[in-house]
Structure 1
Amino acid sequence: MTAWLRPGRRTRAGRPRNVRLPHLRLRNVHSRNVVAAGCGALLMVLLLAWQAAMSAGPSPPAMPRTTLSPPSVPTTPQENCGGNDAELVVATGDDVSTGSVRREVIEEWNDPLKPPADPRAKLLELSGSTDVRRAQMAALAQAGSCAYDVLVLDVAWVTEFARHGYIRPIDLDDQDKRFLSGPLKAGQIDGRQYGVPFAADAPLEFRRLDRRSGGYLLQLDDNEMGTINFLETIELGGGKVLDGDDRTAIVLDRARDDVWQALTSPKRTLSSTEESADVLRESLRMDEDASVVAFKESKAGGRPVAYMRNWPIAFHQLASDPRMRDSAQKLRFDVHAPAGPGGVLGGSVLAVSRHIKPAKLAPAMRLINRLTSPEVQGRLFACGGYSPVLIEVYERYEAGRGPRCRRQNGSDITDPSLDELEKLAAETRKSIEHARPRPKSPYYAQFSELFRRCARGVWENKVSRETFFASAGALEGALNGRVQDDRPLCGKDGT
């Protein structure tokens, strides 16, 4: 059952009614003088939907080389922008936590924590696909809609949304030291903060303790997770694709063997050991959820599975399954940060729509303050597996004082023990601190689709070494808004 269909739980009583969390505020943003007719806005929505469909399906036919321009964002009269004045809409992806914890903290904010005059917060779950969710959010922003007030935005899309004018800059009131450095910088674009860190993500290696031999699963399906895993395969293997402060310089050099060897190696070095395991070809059809299922079953395509790369949230998905515990309730798996730097930083930030109605600005910031408080961050981690962005939460676990999940009576979910949470917190923080961001480019989506197509082509034995390295210029062009299309580079025919 999806999170959208899962019923919410009643909140506990006895909380103070008003919560004052003043450390965040919005910066003033001057409206741009952009002329856009209603038909133009509709055209942009249709164009974006077409782009999303193309990125999810076969490569489009060749077309003349063009340079992408930032889309015009209409100045829509606030009274005509849509939205509900009585609700503060928080647009997010599916709540993939065990127990719909994000929905619970929103419900608790509504009753009894929020100031009485503030609109009620409404969690609106969009597509579970990161790529499709980005397209949905961007399409409404381009149309001047204020249907969404607060966006739970993947860190990979912050640059696009900031530079295209979809979201507003935010002041953090010199509270930067509360946050882990990587998630904080992921929300900074051109020296300004556009996103408040909400959940951090970095890769972890999961090992079956009851099976010492078996294959290694990655997530190489044709979506954003595939891009992340191919980048990690190269960079954890000692190669390099991206460089520079914003990671927008392409450094694919055909004279170097490390990139090619890392990408084509059938082995993955195991964390904290000198051993290696075979990467299963079934990984080409795996996303996060499918690989968790295969890891639980300890097999994929009839082949044994002993290891898996996944996000920290997979820990709770596994720990809550009785099959993943022995008769003494000990976990049948272990978890470690990857061996060495090179993991890709994931996670999300809380951003405020540029089109939010003025009366909702202060309520939006009060809600964001609550969602980034130590209490909520600790609970999202302990009960749902969302990795915290606050240093304080990790330090509490390090000192043995981190929170455990206290679910209401009647819950059939097996929650991790304090010892298990302490281990998870330590390995997660280590991975986050070594992880590297994706390129800070408003055209990252174009880069992601092209890089993934070429890397998958290599794994499918359709793209040669020469062709893969020849993609360097097109990848750099994609990050700078130039569409590669004079020939089907890394397309179906391998050229």
Structure 2
Amino acid sequence: MCRRWDQPADRGPVPRTLPGLLRRPAPGAEGRGGEGGDGRRTVRHTVGRRGAAAAACLLTLSLATACENGESVTAPPPTGDASGTITVASGLDLTAGGGVRQRLIAEWNHRNPEHRAELVELSGDADEQRSQLLGALQSGSTSYDVVNLDVTWVPEFAEAGLISPLDGEIDLGDFIDRVADTATWKGNLYSVPFNSDVGLLYYRQDYLKGAGIPHLRGANAGWSWDDLGDTIDTLDKQEGLPASYLNGWTSQLDSYEGLTVNVIEAFASAGVRLTDEEGRYTADESELREGLDSLRDRAGEKRLLPRALESNEADSLADFAAGRTAFLRHWPYAYGVLRGALPKGSFDVTRLPGRAALGGQNLAVAADSPRGRWALKLIEFLTGPESERCLLEAGFAATRESAYSDSSVTCELADGAADGTEGGTPASLEEGEEVRPVPVDAAGRPVYASELHDALTEAESRPRTPYYGALTQVLQSHVHRWLERDFRDPGAVADSLDRELREVLKGH
């Protein structure tokens, strides 16, 4: 069983019916990983949080200097053929079963017993995981052979020479276009899309039905945040809502990457984009004011659950499951989690109003890996058509078109790999805990697969720049403070954002 180190602090009560992946231990809990040659999850405390954060800051400074001088670092292609376990570093698997990535690793080990792999799961939120990976790769310790990067990190890691170029190694023809775009930087391929993500809107069908509001799935062509606000207002006027109900909707608006995603969605819905495809700053003060107005329109009018300002993915999911809101902005994996927590037919999911942000992770070969050639082969397997179909069935957003449309592509895993028993109990489940599978259509795909695919094809990418770490910190600090102050003086906030974003992106 996987143990995780440096856990985030608990933020409040979580309904007991929710799966264990939402029950977080006390802050500061540490786990020591063991040998992982059989494919089980292991965790290594390679870099402390302060050391990783310092490494991240140093990288930002070195990138700024290099880019101002017109310089960048290019790593060599993956050619190493050393023996030994292929180590994959990744964030936590939050799907309902908590282990599809592990099952894929186990399947690789079943097929390649002489080149086994292990999965190392990094704890903490996305910002902390980025710091951990930067610290590990910059140290040159060769702890990791494959790194699972948030799509926004690819330019930063590529520019710093921390991941190997993969030009000519992978055919991206079957990958969804917008998803495939996240794998490259400056015209070169540095990563391969593993699992994608896109914002979706979950809703309490039982609440809406009682208010006479029709089923929303598939009926939101042109659906806007104004329409959602009107629906919430209609619902709030109804009698007979459960005592647990507090406000119309919730999201992830604490000061971390979740807030940045919500900001990007609000800005894009207003036609505001911060950078061009090369990462150059393109907005101005007036456009930023429009973006802030868009965010205020959806977060104001007493429709938003106040706890959203201190919520991450787990917190908002818990509030929705506890009946405190009728709507929830979240990621695809939430469907399987909610199905294990709520009565059948009580909730559903549809596309998010306006623009939805593209998320997800890409696999890359660590530049210092002595097993680069086999690391690449592992990536090819983990991102292949069959693996992507497995990811889709588990609750992730698959990155390949064939996973959604080709009936000949199926998820076939060997005994042991199929149920995860080869690697022990998934880290995000507890012993004896029930996992309720995602309901599927006649083709065996999740019932919401069509809407998920359409959302991915129109998703809004976050800014692509090697300075993304600095950009997201600027957005988080200014916007969260503005939200806490009840949207006061948006003009001053827009002015500060404009000045600081120009400064952090001036290296382009």
Fold agreement, TM-score > 0.5: yes
Preserved CA contact (<8 Å) 1:218 1:291: yes
Whole-angstrom CA distance in 1 between matches of 2:74 and 2:187: 25
Paired residue for 1:38? none
Structure 1 residue 386 corresponds to structure 2 residue 396: yes
Kindly state the Cα deviation for residue 50 of structure 1 after the two structures are TM-superposed: 3.4
Paired residue for 2:350? 336
Paired residue for 2:339? 319
CA distances 1:424-445 after superposition (whole Å, capped 9, x unpaired): 2112111111112122211111
Paired residue for 1:478? 504
Kindly state the Cα deviation for residue 53 of structure 1 after the two structures are TM-superposed: 9.6
CA separation of 1:400/1:316 partners in 2, compared to 1, >3 Å: closer, same or farther? farther
CA distances 1:62-104 after superposition (whole Å, capped 9, x unpaired): xxx99933599899xxxxxxxx952110000112122212111
Paired residue for 1:228? 261
Preserved CA contact (<8 Å) 1:352 1:364: yes
Q: Secondary structure at the match of 2:397?
A: coil
For CA contacts below 8 A with separation 6 or more, give which structure has more relative contact order.
2
User: Can you give the 5+ residue segments of structure 2 that lack an aligned partner in the other structure?
Assistant: 6-19, 21-45, 76-81, 209-234, 236-246, 422-431
CA distances 1:39-76 after superposition (whole Å, capped 9, x unpaired): xxx9999765237699xxxxxxxxxx99933599899x
Kindly state the Cα deviation for residue 259 of structure 1 after the two structures are TM-superposed: 2.4
Kindly state the Cα deviation for residue 380 of structure 1 after the two structures are TM-superposed: 1.8
Which of 137, 143, 148 does residue 141 from structure 1 map onto? 137
Which of 166, 183, 186 does residue 187 from structure 1 map onto? 183
CA separation of 1:248/1:74 partners in 2, compared to 1, >3 Å: closer, same or farther? closer
CA separation of 1:163/1:51 partners in 2, compared to 1, >3 Å: closer, same or farther? closer
Amino acid in the other structure paired with 1:335:
V
The 5-angstrom pairing of residues 270-349 of structure 1 reads: 278-299=303-324, 305-321=325-341, 324-326=342-344, 331-340=345-354, 342-349=355-362
Q: Secondary structure at the match of 2:206?
A: coil
CA separation of 1:468/1:226 partners in 2, compared to 1, >3 Å: closer, same or farther? same
Which of 360, 369, 374 does residue 356 from structure 1 map onto? 369
Paired residue for 2:95? 97
Amino acid in the other structure paired with 2:272:
K
Whole-angstrom CA distance in 1 between matches of 2:312 and 2:472: 16
CA separation of 1:393/1:296 partners in 2, compared to 1, >3 Å: closer, same or farther? same
Paired residue for 2:471? 447
Residue correspondences, number:
404
Paired residue for 2:219? none
Whole-angstrom CA distance in 2 between matches of 1:202 and 1:74: 30
Amino acid in the other structure paired with 1:370:
F
Kindly state the Cα deviation for residue 250 of structure 1 after the two structures are TM-superposed: 3.6
Amino acid in the other structure paired with 1:248:
R
TM-score by length of 2: 0.71
Preserved CA contact (<8 Å) 2:90 2:119: yes
Kindly state the Cα deviation for residue 201 of structure 1 after the two structures are TM-superposed: 0.7
Kindly state the Cα deviation for residue 461 of structure 1 after the two structures are TM-superposed: 1.6
User: Can you give the 5+ residue segments of structure 1 that lack an aligned partner in the other structure?
Assistant: 7-41, 55-64, 76-83, 269-275, 300-304, 483-495
Whole-angstrom CA distance in 2 between matches of 1:198 and 1:174: 13
Which of 193, 205, 215 does residue 209 from structure 1 map onto? 205
CA separation of 1:174/1:210 partners in 2, compared to 1, >3 Å: closer, same or farther? same
Which of 162, 166, 175 does residue 166 from structure 1 map onto? 162
Paired residue for 1:262? 294
Kindly state the Cα deviation for residue 172 of structure 1 after the two structures are TM-superposed: 4.9
Kindly state the Cα deviation for residue 181 of structure 1 after the two structures are TM-superposed: 0.8
CA separation of 1:400/1:292 partners in 2, compared to 1, >3 Å: closer, same or farther? farther
Q: Secondary structure at the match of 2:266?
A: helix
Amino acid in the other structure paired with 2:164:
R
Kindly state the Cα deviation for residue 257 of structure 1 after the two structures are TM-superposed: 5.9
CA distances 1:376-435 after superposition (whole Å, capped 9, x unpaired): 11112212x111001001114xx7987699858998321122139443211211111111
Preserved CA contact (<8 Å) 1:152 1:348: yes
Which of 417, 421, 427 does residue 439 from structure 2 map onto? 417
Whole-angstrom CA distance in 2 between matches of 1:170 and 1:102: 22
Amino acid in the other structure paired with 2:499:
G
Amino acid in the other structure paired with 1:433:
T
Amino acid in the other structure paired with 2:184:
Q
Kindly state the Cα deviation for residue 479 of structure 1 after the two structures are TM-superposed: 2.3
CA separation of 1:260/1:91 partners in 2, compared to 1, >3 Å: closer, same or farther? closer
Preserved CA contact (<8 Å) 2:96 2:437: no
Preserved CA contact (<8 Å) 1:241 1:252: no
Kindly state the Cα deviation for residue 239 of structure 1 after the two structures are TM-superposed: 4.5
Whole-angstrom CA distance in 1 between matches of 2:338 and 2:489: 38
Which of 367, 371, 375 does residue 378 from structure 2 map onto? 367
TM-score by length of 1: 0.73
CA separation of 1:417/1:467 partners in 2, compared to 1, >3 Å: closer, same or farther? same
Kindly state the Cα deviation for residue 157 of structure 1 after the two structures are TM-superposed: 0.4
Preserved CA contact (<8 Å) 2:265 2:460: no
Preserved CA contact (<8 Å) 2:279 2:464: yes
Q: Secondary structure at the match of 2:117?
A: strand
Q: Secondary structure at the match of 2:196?
A: strand
CA separation of 1:464/1:47 partners in 2, compared to 1, >3 Å: closer, same or farther? farther
Q: Percent identity?
A: 28
